[in-house]
Amino acid sequence: MARSASPRMDANTAHQPEDPSGFVDERARGEYIRLGIGCFLAAVMNAHSALLAIIFARSGYDLHDIGLLLSIFAIPVVLSALISGAVADRIGALQTVRLAMALLAIGFLSFDVTRASFTAAAASRIVQGVGQGLFLGSALTYAQGRLSPVRFVYLLGIFSSLMVVSQALGPPLGAYVLGSFGEHAMFAVAALPAIAGLALTFGLRPLPRPAQSPGLRLFSVWRPHFPEPIWAVFISGAMSGFTLAYLAAALEARTIPIACFFVSSTTALFASRFFALRHVEEVDRRVLIASGLTLMSVGFVAVALAHAVWWPVVAGGILFGTGYSLVYPLLSAWMSEGLEPSRRAGPQALLNTSFNLGLFATPYPETLLISRFGYDVTLYLLAGLGFATALFLIGRAQILRVNVV
């Protein structure tokens, strides 16, 4: 197991010139790449969760029970996300990533034997939720610790996109295996990348731990602008939560291949972050985030208008993925701006708590909307929230620009 870097090593590293490639040193480049691949592989397994609504329906659950099973996930996710900063301070960000990957795998694979019982399936969902809550914040904290200020937003965006790109592979692969070989085979195939991803995390250097660890650290570095990224990431999470929980079922009901949305959205997301994000780092972040939320909202409107036609779903996926590519990495960088790596765990935990709340607490309210009004109205309402938040951020940017002038 890799040992913690000594204070002398840290001091010497601090006086070294910055690597123009954007990493704190040459080894950090390889660690960034290995952890990125590992997180991608674990996320491929987790992306199969988009099919849980279909699997639960096959197991005999009605829409109300499916909504409860999907939404109960939010409780452990939010609670574990809240303490993820403290856990990372105590055992290290890298160890927290490993723990999260293991819990995600155990929780997801256990559905193979627990899905027939509501109580047992809920227990599996809780284990999976604890892993999810610990996962994203600790992975981003470790990745940020490998980066220098040079190309920080761009490289952080590439890293976070690797986990989202899993949506292009997981649901279509899972749908094919599920349709061709059944539930048992789907869970078995999903396990393989998660095991490989966990193995890749061994041999990486841990981050230096902070000198002091005052509790949850959520509000120890609170700044006046924090409510803006926290609200924006909640809306982004709520919109993404619909795609994870119900979009596959909505497309299946229209006999449209789910790959039309998931492949197009994740391809657009990765392409945007890889080719475009480096060119917009100097643009006002509020304007960029508002632009991203607007594109996500227009994408939802396109899907709602598609009915049984496939190409508007592809177009909606491209718009959604392009918009999402701008939102999350900019919000994450905004929360960490000006903070030392050892002080970022708390703000990142706070941001990811809001994101996870939007991502995983909204399926049940969405269930009520779907059961009463249908998928299209739900898509329109979520798009309306995205448009409203975008307008708010643009208004804030304009007010601050006028005040500076």
Q: Is residue 96 in a domain?
A: yes
CB count in 10 Å sphere of residue 177: 20
Q: Is 345 domain-assigned?
A: yes
In a domain? residue 354 = yes
Handedness of CA 32, 340, 293, 351 (dihedral sign): positive
Whole-number pLDDT of residue 377: 94
Single pTM value for the model: 0.71
Residue with tokens 């991608």: 40
pLDDT tier at 7, thresholds 50, 70, 90: very low
Q: Return d(Cα 183, Cα 58) in angstroms, integer.
A: 10
CA torsion, ordered 122, 127, 129, 134, to nearest 10 deg: 170
Q: Determine the Cα–Cα distance for residues 201 and 197; give it in Å rounded to an integer.
A: 7
> How many C-beta neighbours within 10 Å does residue 219 have?
11
pLDDT confidence of residue 178: 92
Q: Is the residue at 386 inside a domain?
A: yes
pLDDT at 328: 82
Tokens 């329109």 identify what position?
380
For residue 362, pLDDT beyond 50 = yes
Neighbours of 222 (CB within 10 A): 11
**Residue of higher predicted confidence among 12 and 203:** 203
**Interaxial angle between packed helices 227-242 and 345-361, expressed in degrees from 0 to 180 and rounded to the nearest 10:** 40
| 76-90, 264-278, 308-322 — most confident range | 308-322
> Is 215 inside any structural domain?
no
Q: What is the pLDDT of residue 166?
A: 82
The DSSP-derived string for 281-344 is: TTS-HHHHHHHHHHHHHHHHHHHHHHTT-SHHHHHHHHHHHHHHHHHHHHHHHHHHTT--GGG-
Average pLDDT on 183-197 reads 92
Q: What average pLDDT does the segment 38-58 reach?
A: 91
Tell me the C-alpha distance between 178 and 244, whole Å. Answer: 17
Which residues lie below 8 Å from residue 310, measured CB to CB, with a gap of 6+?
256, 257, 260
- pLDDT value for 10: 43
210-224, 227-241, 360-374 — which is least confidently predicted? 210-224
- Residue 23 backbone phi and psi in degrees, to 5: -110, 155
∠204-210-215 over CA atoms, to 5°?
A: 115
Residue 212 resides in a domain: no
Give yes or no for residue 8 having a pLDDT over 50: no
Half-sphere exposure of 285 (CA within 13 A, CB side): 16
- pLDDT of the residue at 122: 95
Residue 4 binned pLDDT confidence (cut-offs 50, 70, 90): very low
Query: Which range among 120-129, 194-203, 265-274, 301-310 shows the weakest confidence by mean pLDDT?
Result: 265-274
**Whose CA is closest to 107, among 142, 84, 80, 87?**
80
Question: Which of 2-16, 200-214, 265-279 is least confident?
Answer: 2-16
Most confident of 21-25, 77-81, 348-352: 77-81
The domain of 290 spans 20-207+222-404
End-to-end CA, the chain = 54
Position 196 scores a pLDDT of 95
Distance, in Å, from the CA atom of 282 to the CA atom of 292, rounded to the nearest integer, reads 16
Question: Sign (positive/negative) of CA torsion 254, 259, 264, 265?
Answer: positive
Distance, CA of 22 to CA of 150 (rounded, Å): 5
The burial of 2, by beta-carbon neighbours within 10 Å (0-12 exposed, 13-18 middle, 19 or more buried), is given as exposed
Q: Is the pLDDT of residue 153 over 80?
A: no
Residue the block writes with tokens 């779907």: 370
* Average pLDDT score over the chain: 84
Is the pLDDT higher at 26 or at 382?
A: 382
With a pLDDT cut of 70, the percent of the chain lying above it is 86
pLDDT of residue 277: 66
Partnered with residue 147 across adjacent β-strands are 23
Structural domains of the chain, count: 1
Per-residue model confidence (pLDDT) at position 342: 60
CATH of the domain at 325: 1.20.1250.20
Burial of 25 (0-12, 13-18, 19+ CB in 10 A): middle
d(C-alpha 348, C-alpha 352), whole Å: 6
For residues 152-179, average pLDDT = 83
